[in-house]
Amino acid sequence: LLESVVVCEETAVNQYNWAALLSEKAAKSSLTSAEQNDAEFRFENCLLHWNHQKQNDTNRCPMRTQIRNINFNLRTSRQSFPDESKPVSEEGLARAEKAIQYVEQYLLKTCSKRHKVTFDIARSDYCIRKAQMNGSLYTPELKKQYAKEAYLILENALETAKHLKFESEEKGIQNRLQNIDSLFHASKEENHCHSERAREPSRNEAVEHDASSMEDLLKSLVNVAMELNEDHEIKPEIEPSADRVMHEEGGA
């Protein structure tokens, strides 16, 4: 790779620009498998060239590359809230997390304030994507925690963006803050559904309850029938006493 082109800052930047274009496309539409592989290659090749060039010893290009790599794996763009209709795999989340950890360990302390803000946007997207995931591993409470973490990250980034007048970054942050409430609402609704299902009786309990109700109903019907029979029962006439018979005969 290094022998085929001139090893210099410009080559690394060109590789970054190529990867960035594919990253933006991935956030808005689908990539072919060839484009997916090409993007991964460009990100890797960019860092390879940067590490071997001698013209620039800052971390500007590596920082930009890692941030774009996070966006790429999360299928997000820094301008807007992550599109929930764009599926993100567990592998994509793992790759994004790895890039985040690399930045925090090796690049964050010496990066510019603008790159710190754009990194925070990408980091918030990771939390947002976690909050958007489905499956047994992602409970409503856990998703709510991810949404809250994203909100706190964005609030801090917004303060810096406003202070330094980073207009494009501020716009992206505001868009996320406006839409992140939907995640809290979704987790609340999902938690409510879980609670409702938890309160529903099991099938056996329902059968037992129905059987008990039927038994009580039959008993009630029997009691009512007995009461009706008692009300309509023809009681035998009382036989006259001997004194009464003699009195009646004497009178006759």
pLDDT along the chain (252 residues), means of 10: 71 96 96 97 95 93 98 97 94 98 97 98 98 92 95 97 97 96 68 52 48 54 52 45 46 46
Q: Are 9 and 61 in contact (CB under 8 A)?
A: yes
DSSP for residue 115: H
Q: Are 156 and 123 in contact (CB under 8 A)?
A: no
Burial tier of 179 (Cβ tally within 10 Å: 0-12, 13-18, 19+): middle
Distance CA 209, CA 149 (A): 45
CB neighbourhood size of 149 (10 A) = 17
Predicted pLDDT at 98: 98
Predicted pLDDT at 7: 84
Cα 188 to chain center, whole Å? 11
- What is the length of the chain? 252
Q: How far is CA 20 from CA 15, 26, 51, 110, 161, in A?
A: 9, 10, 19, 22, 22
CB neighbourhood size of 208 (10 A) = 12
**Where along the chain do its domains lie?**
12-188
Task: Kindly give the residue spans of alpha helices, DSSP state H, lying in the chain.
Answer: 9-28, 33-52, 60-74, 90-102, 113-132, 140-164, 167-179, 181-199, 203-232, 242-251
Which residues have CB under 8 Å from 239's CB, separation 6+? none
Predicted pLDDT at 233: 47
Predicted pLDDT at 184: 74
Predicted pLDDT at 252: 45
Predicted pLDDT at 69: 98
Predicted pLDDT at 181: 84
Predicted pLDDT at 44: 96
| Predicted structure pTM score | 0.74
